[in-house]
Structure 1
C-alpha cells in the first residue's frame, strides 16, 4: 500500500475527530462535516474502505441526489462509486459504514444502502453523518447491567407474576427478550418474535447488509444459523471470521477500517463485519444502519482484516477475520452502531470434550460466546451442532449423548443430558435448537426476575457406533379385564437393529376409582414425558425445574388419565386431589390461585436402550363386588 494513501487516511480521520469534538478554530470557514442541505447533484468526492488487509483505501464518489425522509427524520444521499473493483462488485456487504467525503474532504456520511439486489451499476445510499453523530453522543444508561454488571434499570417488580404478562406488554420489557412463560423457552419461537420486531421494508433501498462470517461451522449448523439470524438482517456465510490476535494488527480503530461484532470466537467463530465511519476519542460510529436495532447493547467487537471482496451477481460481500479484540458495541440504532473501545462485552466460555471417537478432528472444542438473551441460545446451538457434525462424520449408525453443565453466577449449576440415534448418517444440527441445554440457557437468560450471568458451559460428547435403540413393534394386552386396584399386564414387542425380536412384560397398577370404566393405557418413551412441575416464581425455582423436564431417557412409561385433578401452587405440586380439596383451594377474593392440571398415573420402567415409537391399548376395569 502506498505511504501517501496511509498518511492521507490517518489525516482525514484526525481532522474529522478534531472538527466534530471541538468548535471551529478562529478563522476556520468550513465545518469538517457537510450537511444534507449543502449537497448538490454532481458533487464529487471520495470514500474510504478496506479492500484487502487492514489499511483503508480511497474510491471515487459522485452524488446522484438526495432522498428526503427516507427513514423517520433521516434522509438518504445517493452516490455513484466508480472504482476498478467496485465496477465489478457493485454494492458490497461489509462496506456498510465506509465514510463518504465531499466538497474537498468534508464528511458527508456512511455508505450503507443498496437500491436492490442484482444491481447492474455501482450505486449506494449514504446515511447522513449528522444522525450518526447524534447516536455517538447518546449516553449509556447508568447501571446498564451487561456492561456494569449491576441490576438493570428499571428494577424488575418482584410482585409481578410473569405468567400473566404476555404479548406486547411483555415484549416491551426487553427488545430482545423471549415473550413466553418462564420455564417454557423455545429458540425457534424466539427467533420468529425477533424477526417480527426487526422487520424492515424491502420495497425500497435496503441495508447493504452485514455478512456474518463463520469459521469452524459445519454445513448443517450453518443452515441452522441462517434460519435464526437471516431474518434479522445478518447474512451467515462460511467465509472466515475466526483468527488469533495478529501482532501487526492496528491497536485502535480508524476511519474506513474494518470492525467486527464478534458473537463467538475460538474454535467456532461468528463475526458480523462492517466498516468504521468516524472515530472520536475512544468511541466510533459504523455501519450507517442497525445491526439488530437492539438499542442499548453489549456485544464484543474486534478490529477486522479483509481478505477479499467476492463478486456476485446478486450481492457482493467482504470476507475477513478478527485480528484484535477491542471494545464493545454499546448502541445499535436506526442510523448507526456505536462502539466503545473502553468497554468489554460480556461473554462466557463453552467447552466440549469428545469421547469415543479416536480420529475426531478435535478432542476438545473451546469457544467464547457473547452473552445476550437471544443470541446466546442460538449461538450455543450452532456451536453444539458444529461439534457433533464435525465429530460424527461417517455414514453409519451412531448413538451419541451430550452431558452439559451450565454454571450460573450465584446460582450454582444445571446438569442436563441430550442424546440421539442417527440411523445411517449425521444427526440434524437443527435438533440442537430444541435441546435441553439450549432451552435451559434461554430460560435462565430470559427469566423475568433478575439479571442472570452465565459463568460457563461445559459439555461432554460421548459417541458409540451402534444403533442403541429398541423400536416398539407393537403391544399385547394379556388381560382384557382386570379388577379395580389390581394390575394390568402388557407385553411390549421390541425390535433391535440386528438380531431377533424380544418381549418385555410390564405390570401396571390400576387405580381403584376407575372401577367400571374402560381405561386407555398409553405406552411412550420416557424422554417424551414431561412431569407436572410447579410454575417457577423466582430464578432459583426455575433452575431447580430444568433437570426435571422429562423422565429418564432410557425408559418406557405407561400412563393413563385418572378422574381427579392436581394443582401447582407457590412452587409445590399436589396430584390427585378430591373435589372438596379443589373447592377449598379456589380463591374467593383474588384472581391468582392454584393452577389445576389433569392427573395421570404413570409406571416408569428402565430400559437398556432408547425406545422409538408409541402405542395405546384399552383395558376394561371390573367393579369390585363386596
Structure 2
C-alpha cells in the first residue's frame, strides 16, 4: 500500500495516457461546503472581445458566479500570423480555450503546465470541471497583469487555434496539439428600416452546456449593439437550425415589449438547449441561421371580443368568425376568419380563440401535450410550437381521445379506448375527455394576448 501511495504521488505528467485526471476528494473529513469556507478555487480569466460594455457586465456577473474573471480583449483578437508568439508552445506560455470565434470572441486563458509530445496539460485547476470536452485550444497573449490583494486580473487576447482540449478536470485541463474541433457556425442577419442590413458570422463551441449559453450571449449582444437597449421594441425572428440526420428546427415568431431582445434570443436558444440535452441520442447541430427584423415601436395587441356572424351555424357550411383586438395605441382592429364547419359536427360545441401562450397552458393542464419519445418527435413538437403573432381557434367537442406514445389521437371509438385503458400501466397512454373537431390559425402583425370562448350549437346539414 505504501509503494502504491508513492507511485501515485508522482507528477501527473509522468502518466500522460491517463488524461482523465481524477477529481479531488474531501480533505481531512471536510465536506465541500466546509472546505468552501477555507479555500476558494482559482478563477479562470475570461476574454470577451466585441461585446458591448453593458452586456459584458451582465454576462460577467453571471460568469463570476461560476468561477470566471471576465476581462476585455482586443476588438477582434489576433489574425493568424499577426500575433506576437515566438516558437512552439512551451510550459509557462499562455494558452486559451475558445468558446466563441468570428465577429465576436470569447474564451478562457491560463498557463501551460507541461507538454509531452503532442499532449498539453494546462491551468493546474479546472475550467468548469466538465469532464470530457472538445474545446478549441488557442495561443494566447498576456499584455499585462493587474495585481490585487483581492483578485488579480490578466489583460489578454486569444490567437489562432492550435489543438483541442479533451479533458476538463479538477486538477487540470488536457488536450492534444493539432487541428481544432468542429464548432457550430452561427449566422445572424439584422434587418432594420433605420439602418443598412448587417450580417454577422461566428462559431460557438459544440458543447451541451456552453454551446447554447454562448449562442444566447452572442445573439443578445448582436441585437443590443445595433438596436436600442432600453425601451419598447419589436423583433421578428425567422430562420432555422439544421440537425444532422434529422429535420431542421424552424424559427418564426414575433417579440414585442421592453425585453423583446431577450425574448427573441431565448426563443432561438431554448430549442437548441432542449435538443442538445435530450435523453435519446447525441445530436449534431450543423448550423444556425437566423434573420431578425426590428423596429423601435411596440406591436402588441389585446384580444377583446369574438363573435359569429351566423347565429345558427350548420354542419358543412362556412361561418364568418369576427375577432376584435385592441393595439398598443388603442386602435381597434377587426379581423374576419371564415370557419368551415366539418360535416360530422353537431350539437353543443365550444369555440376557443386564444393566443399561443394561454393555449399551451390549457393543453398542459389537460395533459394534451404529447410527450416526445424520440429526437424526431422532439423536433416535430418544436416546429409546432405556438407563435406570439398568431391567434389559434379550436372547435372542441365531447368525444374522447388519447395521447399514445407521444401522438395525439382524437375521437377514438369506445372499443379502442377500452384496449388502450387496459395497457395504461405501460406509461404510454393518457386519456382525453374532449376532442378537437377542427382548428384554424389567424396570423397577425402584432404579438396578441388574450383568450375567449364561445358556446355554439351546430345543426346538422
Query: Shorter-chain TM-score: which interval?
Result: 0.7 to 0.9
Q: Deviations over 1:489-543 (max 9, x none)?
A: 875442234474233466876996874x9x6x65422466448665444333433
SS of the residue corresponding to residue 291 of structure 1 reads coil
Q: How does 1:12-411 map to 2 (within 5 A)?
A: 130=10, 132-133=12-13, 136-139=16-19, 202-218=36-52, 221-222=55-56, 225-226=59-60, 229-240=63-74, 242-243=76-77, 244-245=79-80, 246-311=82-147, 314-342=150-178, 344-357=180-193, 359=195, 363-393=198-228, 398-411=233-246
Using the TM superposition, give the Cα deviation of residue 370 of structure 1 relative to its aligned residue in structure 2, in angstroms: 0.8
Distance change in 2, residues 1:457/1:524 (3 Å): same
- What is the distance in 2 between the residues matched to 1:225 and 1:373? 19
Contact 2:223 2:261 in 1 (8 A): no
Q: How does 1:353-502 map to 2 (within 5 A)?
A: 353-357=189-193, 359=195, 363-393=198-228, 398-411=233-246, 413-422=248-257, 427-429=260-262, 432-433=265-266, 435=267, 437-472=268-303, 474-475=304-305, 492-498=323-329, 500-502=331-333
- What is the distance in 2 between the residues matched to 1:597 and 1:233? 48
SS of the residue corresponding to residue 281 of structure 2 reads coil
Using the TM superposition, give the Cα deviation of residue 264 of structure 1 relative to its aligned residue in structure 2, in angstroms: 0.7
Using the TM superposition, give the Cα deviation of residue 305 of structure 1 relative to its aligned residue in structure 2, in angstroms: 0.9
Distance change in 2, residues 1:218/1:505 (3 Å): same
Using the TM superposition, give the Cα deviation of residue 444 of structure 1 relative to its aligned residue in structure 2, in angstroms: 3.2
Using the TM superposition, give the Cα deviation of residue 589 of structure 1 relative to its aligned residue in structure 2, in angstroms: 9.4
Q: What's the counterpart of residue 383 of structure 2?
A: 547
Q: RMSD between aligned alpha carbons?
A: 4.0
SS of the residue corresponding to residue 448 of structure 1 reads coil
Using the TM superposition, give the Cα deviation of residue 445 of structure 1 relative to its aligned residue in structure 2, in angstroms: 2.3
Distance change in 2, residues 1:132/1:228 (3 Å): farther
SS of the residue corresponding to residue 403 of structure 1 reads strand
Distance change in 2, residues 1:588/1:261 (3 Å): same
- What is the distance in 2 between the residues matched to 1:428 and 1:554? 16
Q: Deviations over 1:92-150 (max 9, x none)?
A: xxxxxxxxxxxxxxxxxxxxxxxxxxxxxxxxxxxx99564377431579xxxxxxxxx
Distance change in 2, residues 1:313/1:496 (3 Å): farther
Q: Deviations over 1:301-358 (max 9, x none)?
A: 2111112333556422112111221111111111111132135323121111222355
Contact 1:493 1:504 in 2 (8 A): yes
Contact 1:309 1:318 in 2 (8 A): yes
Greater CA radius of gyration, 1 or 2?
1
Using the TM superposition, give the Cα deviation of residue 588 of structure 1 relative to its aligned residue in structure 2, in angstroms: 4.3
- What is the distance in 2 between the residues matched to 1:589 and 1:398? 48
- What is the distance in 2 between the residues matched to 1:204 and 1:600? 61
Alignment length (residue pairs): 432
- What is the distance in 2 between the residues matched to 1:447 and 1:459? 23
Distance change in 2, residues 1:609/1:588 (3 Å): closer
Using the TM superposition, give the Cα deviation of residue 235 of structure 1 relative to its aligned residue in structure 2, in angstroms: 3.9
- What is the distance in 1 between the residues matched to 2:55 and 2:372? 32
Contact 1:399 1:421 in 2 (8 A): yes
Contact 2:393 2:440 in 1 (8 A): yes
Using structure 2 for the length normalisation, give the TM-score: 0.78
- What is the distance in 2 between the residues matched to 1:200 and 1:463? 50
- What is the distance in 2 between the residues matched to 1:392 and 1:607? 26
Contact 1:224 1:430 in 2 (8 A): no
- What is the distance in 1 between the residues matched to 2:263 and 2:443? 27
Contact 2:84 2:141 in 1 (8 A): no
Contact 1:225 1:378 in 2 (8 A): no
- What is the distance in 2 between the residues matched to 1:565 and 1:589? 16
Question: Which of 508, 524, 535 pairs up with 2:354?
Answer: 524
SS of the residue corresponding to residue 250 of structure 2 reads strand
SS of the residue corresponding to residue 365 of structure 1 reads strand
Using the TM superposition, give the Cα deviation of residue 211 of structure 1 relative to its aligned residue in structure 2, in angstroms: 2.4
- What is the distance in 2 between the residues matched to 1:576 and 1:237? 60
- What is the distance in 2 between the residues matched to 1:387 and 1:507? 41
Contact 1:303 1:323 in 2 (8 A): yes
Contact 1:354 1:363 in 2 (8 A): yes
- What is the distance in 1 between the residues matched to 2:432 and 2:45? 47
Distance change in 2, residues 1:564/1:250 (3 Å): farther
Using the TM superposition, give the Cα deviation of residue 300 of structure 1 relative to its aligned residue in structure 2, in angstroms: 0.8
Q: Deviations over 1:414-436 (max 9, x none)?
A: 3222431245xx63436523x1x
Moved more, 492-501 or 286-295: 492-501
Distance change in 2, residues 1:543/1:228 (3 Å): farther
Using structure 1 for the length normalisation, give the TM-score: 0.59
Could you list the runs of 5+ residues in structure 1 that have no partner in the other structure?
1-72, 74-127, 142-197
Contact 1:292 1:332 in 2 (8 A): yes
Contact 2:306 2:452 in 1 (8 A): no
Using the TM superposition, give the Cα deviation of residue 241 of structure 1 relative to its aligned residue in structure 2, in angstroms: 8.3
Contact 1:470 1:611 in 2 (8 A): yes
Could you list the runs of 5+ residues in structure 2 that have no partner in the other structure?
22-31
